[in-house]
Structure 1
């Protein structure tokens, strides 16, 4: 009967909405009054979801003529860079540029508009709300976008004229003392996390049981959703692997409005795709069950060093690149910034030895006596949560306009060509005067490189990498459009510089969750190869044949126009065949 429901659902859409084979239409946007549901239809829908329909506003709207409110504007200005506050605003993105409105807290503008912020949103708190929203969007051919916290560097969680499914308030967590499924038995202390839970909430709650999950360095990132489905690198990745490596099961709503259990044995192809193949495109994840581990103690060191000139700085960066394999072999992880003539580093070692950390770091200092070490400190924390709460969580500002492009740097290159790598890092380094940075993350290698029993589609570039390097750029709202375009182009150019260390003919790879929307050959860079991309795309077409879930540079988005609102005509044959096969299945099942 399950198959019958699915087939009848699609047939209902086809005939009730006249979505015939010849006329799969562009999405209906709020600007199109001829197809946008009328007030009565919206009222009936709102009643069906317990009044959970809300109206999003751009985050700065209350400081502009559009919706000016003196008290609310004062709060907004005070909280503008607070990631927790931004995640609580239905219309806000963590980086303001993705709202794409002319609203600003810095200039009171009469032209403040909705921009890319959806016009209506469902504040979902139950699976029933999600199912009803998916069916309503499909039936009315609406552009549907999905968001929890708005941590999104590609603008996938927002779209002009759209309906937003907001999952931020789905906050349940459950500890499963003994988890088992068809292929796994007796996994101790798995945790089921709903779609709106953020990593700070996960870490805090699990710390009560002296447990930890493999999650983000930023506490306001949603634990389930784009982070997890994109692979999810973590401060603990070298210790236990990527976040997607820990997933045991998903609870999802597919594009037919049905709720499905997804694991290695049920909907196994969808399980493979969701684990690394990108969020927002295959199904809506209601919750995920992931492994936890006894929390490690953590030893930490910070180091900031400056050079007086370019020659001295080149020596520093080469020495640092040579230092990376040494600390990697010792189980260290690190985040570092290469900007101007300064190198700033945060090292941490799960279950590390404080004395050994200090001895190793002191040796690095001794090897660079001609440099000025601004500060060098070390600390020991009894658990990961203390390290997260005292060191990582406070360093999480957002709100600014921001773009990034990343590259995964192979471990073999770091070890064999440190001088060339250092030269490229210096070419791509950041400049404080322009708002740019080169952020490195020693979070690959170790258990990330362990491919045993990894049932997922994580970009294979992660499995051979040691570093994730990110070229970042921020700017203010008052920056001219011409200058913004120039800075956006510079992000891509700096990332391309990093490709120079790769062997001739090899394909650069990116972390798709930290990537530029204008990256060329994004299918191969984000997903590892054209073969993997095509496999993901076939799964996408199986579970979402009408492309209800479409987002920037997500699998299947190349079948849509650049604004992602209209299917390309080349898709009509595929949709034709899909409908034909569905009708055949009806007669086969009912006969």
Structure 2
């Protein structure tokens, strides 16, 4: 990948550029750090040097222009400006990085052997998580460069991928990138692992800040915050730390942290800022509930620590308000809980031998136990898979996860339902297994997450306790789940509750506090259909199957990290009563909308004018209306 040559500015300029007015802020660079710069370049024009100011002396493009600045625009930064950004970020600027599948297309980086290699493993998240631009959502990217055997895009373009990437390893790299984007009006995106299925980590011709290599993990024996009501052990982890890394580090200290079930998810990026459900949520709450402190670069380019006493309003917003919205997080300090034994069960059954009526009777029986199982602190991850061509339905539990439960306790929770399945003649092998630790159980129980399919998107709903408190309401919900399956919707469900820890005053969607079943259903469209046909199918899905789910759970919500870009009234759906305050804080902390993420707080002011009219990142970001 091409790199620009470095440049530099005077020490006096940089002392000004990185001055942080607040007493709580931590300046990154000192005069000693910069003493080697003052002789490298003299007479730098103010027009160029001001691009990197934290509190810019002027805004080159203002905030009134309809769209962000793009290549070909008169105000697009010069090659010299990009070269300066590269040099000042320690030559960590990647220029026009190629999509992985470029090796499959003649005229680019064609390599038939490499193309065969990546095609064979394209669906594995491990093949994408270390790439500077890849998103695990080709639909959101724009489908412009995939292996032809996966989807033939006929040629390869970056589409919704960024044009420049700062491979950040220090806060100063992020500060420089934020300042440059704000002062030039270039679109800015933030990427960690690319696990966001809505495409929030991409943007056509954008400047991307890649936080994947912030990997430090520090164990703190005793952390105390009286205002949060917490005193105990904690971990401070870089924004790039993933689930498999923090879970292993915690286990080595005899601890657990609240994180996602997917092993390659970046726990301390968008996951924890957006709330984050976990196999431990029924015991300890959401991921955001665990946060004790953030280190973050703000839209003004300042590097600050946000906690209960330092920038408390920013701290409130970052705990649940969504990533790529209020700042770029570099590290997070979270509560550490005791390691615990865990029991898990994996099994499946189908309607093939018993018939659909009996199969659905087994599912209906399960619905009766959602409240007691969640109240017992368990986390059940199960899927319902229809095969319309054969008329066969499949249920798969992967897994029923019972942290801090013995084998006998877990069997006792499951036995009432299992007895009813036996009475119905449904054959299954529950495979209930006891593990000495959460870490062992987690490693053995959950499937590896995959890259999103090329003709699928998913909507979600947080079904509250009231949907399960009476026989009538349970029957109503069951009928709606069955109807979705009969409409060929693959469904993914999580039976859990998000307990509300003491003093968990944060931006987490209040609907999580009432949740008993977090449910997703997917819509599919023909792979080779037109954009118009695809959009119509997606809109009908929202107006039909998703609206049915909303109708039976009035006032509830959805989960912003696992949802549909077409979710109507997303502010209410993702944040409920918290949204008005979040909008106020967005205006305070990012008045120029430096940060944008689809369906993020304040994103209704903007729209991506995509090349094909579909909801993806392959288009200019412009003001709505």
CA distance in 1, matches of 2:283, 2:480: 28
Within 5 A, what are the aligned runs for 1:161-240? 161-181=205-225, 183=227, 187-240=231-284
Confirm whether residue 270 of structure 1 aligns to residue 320 of structure 2: no
C-alpha displacement of 1:560: 2.2
Residue 285 of structure 2 is matched in structure 1 by 241
CA distance in 1, matches of 2:372, 2:556: 25
Gaps of 5+ in 1: 570-591
C-alpha displacement of 1:287: 0.7
2:135 equivalent among 82, 86, 93: 93
2:558 equivalent among 497, 510, 521: 510
Residue 457 of structure 1 is matched in structure 2 by 507
Question: In 1, are the aligned partners of 2:496 and 2:515 still within 8 Å (CA)?
Answer: no
1:145 equivalent among 171, 178, 189: 189
- Tell me the SS of whatever aligns to 2:67: coil
CA distance in 2, matches of 1:315, 1:132: 59
Confirm whether residue 70 of structure 1 aligns to residue 112 of structure 2: yes
Confirm whether residue 343 of structure 1 aligns to residue 395 of structure 2: yes
Confirm whether residue 470 of structure 1 aligns to residue 520 of structure 2: yes
1:117 equivalent among 138, 150, 161: 161
CA distance in 1, matches of 2:580, 2:104: 46
TM-aligned CA distance change 1:10 to 1:128, over 3 Å: closer
- Tell me the SS of whatever aligns to 1:261: strand
Residue 574 of structure 1 is matched in structure 2 by none
C-alpha displacement of 1:514: 0.9
CA distance in 2, matches of 1:209, 1:175: 8
TM-aligned CA distance change 1:122 to 1:520, over 3 Å: same
Residue 606 of structure 2 is matched in structure 1 by 560
Question: In 2, are the aligned partners of 1:332 and 1:348 still within 8 Å (CA)?
Answer: yes
C-alpha displacement of 1:284: 0.8
> Which whole-Å deviations, capped at 9, do the CAs of 1:78-137 have from their partners, x for residues lacking one?
331221221111121112222214222115654321110011111111111111111111
Residue 525 of structure 1 is matched in structure 2 by 573
Question: In 2, are the aligned partners of 1:58 and 1:101 still within 8 Å (CA)?
Answer: no
Question: In 1, are the aligned partners of 2:279 and 2:379 still within 8 Å (CA)?
Answer: yes
CA distance in 1, matches of 2:556, 2:200: 23
Confirm whether residue 29 of structure 1 aligns to residue 70 of structure 2: yes
Residue 536 of structure 1 is matched in structure 2 by 582
Confirm whether residue 488 of structure 1 aligns to residue 531 of structure 2: no
TM-aligned CA distance change 1:255 to 1:480, over 3 Å: same
Residue 355 of structure 1 is matched in structure 2 by 408
CA distance in 2, matches of 1:476, 1:289: 45
The alignment's C-alpha RMSD in Å is: 2.5
Question: In 2, are the aligned partners of 1:101 and 1:112 still within 8 Å (CA)?
Answer: no
CA distance in 1, matches of 2:152, 2:117: 15
Question: In 1, are the aligned partners of 2:190 and 2:324 still within 8 Å (CA)?
Answer: yes
TM-aligned CA distance change 1:253 to 1:411, over 3 Å: same
345-354 vs 180-189, greater mean Cα deviation: 180-189
CA distance in 2, matches of 1:4, 1:187: 27
CA distance in 2, matches of 1:494, 1:113: 34
> Which whole-Å deviations, capped at 9, do the CAs of 1:203-258 have from their partners, x for residues lacking one?
01111111110000001111112111110000110011111110000000001111
TM-aligned CA distance change 1:16 to 1:422, over 3 Å: closer
> Which whole-Å deviations, capped at 9, do the CAs of 1:330-382 have from their partners, x for residues lacking one?
33220111223222222111111212322443432321322432432110111
- Tell me the SS of whatever aligns to 1:337: strand
2:426 equivalent among 372, 385, 405: 372
Question: In 2, are the aligned partners of 1:338 and 1:430 still within 8 Å (CA)?
Answer: no
Residue 461 of structure 2 is matched in structure 1 by 407
Residue 593 of structure 2 is matched in structure 1 by 547
TM-aligned CA distance change 1:555 to 1:108, over 3 Å: closer
Question: In 2, are the aligned partners of 1:104 and 1:477 still within 8 Å (CA)?
Answer: no
Residue 441 of structure 1 is matched in structure 2 by 494
TM-aligned CA distance change 1:245 to 1:136, over 3 Å: same
Normalised to the residue count of structure 2, the TM-score between the two structures is 0.83
TM-aligned CA distance change 1:4 to 1:311, over 3 Å: closer
> Which whole-Å deviations, capped at 9, do the CAs of 1:394-419 have from their partners, x for residues lacking one?
43222533421110001121121211
Confirm whether residue 255 of structure 1 aligns to residue 307 of structure 2: no
CA distance in 2, matches of 1:2, 1:129: 16
CA distance in 2, matches of 1:89, 1:237: 30
Normalised to the residue count of structure 1, the TM-score between the two structures is 0.88
CA distance in 2, matches of 1:478, 1:205: 45
CA distance in 1, matches of 2:416, 2:228: 45
Confirm whether residue 384 of structure 1 aligns to residue 438 of structure 2: yes
- Tell me the SS of whatever aligns to 1:175: strand
- Tell me the SS of whatever aligns to 1:250: strand
Higher helix share: 1
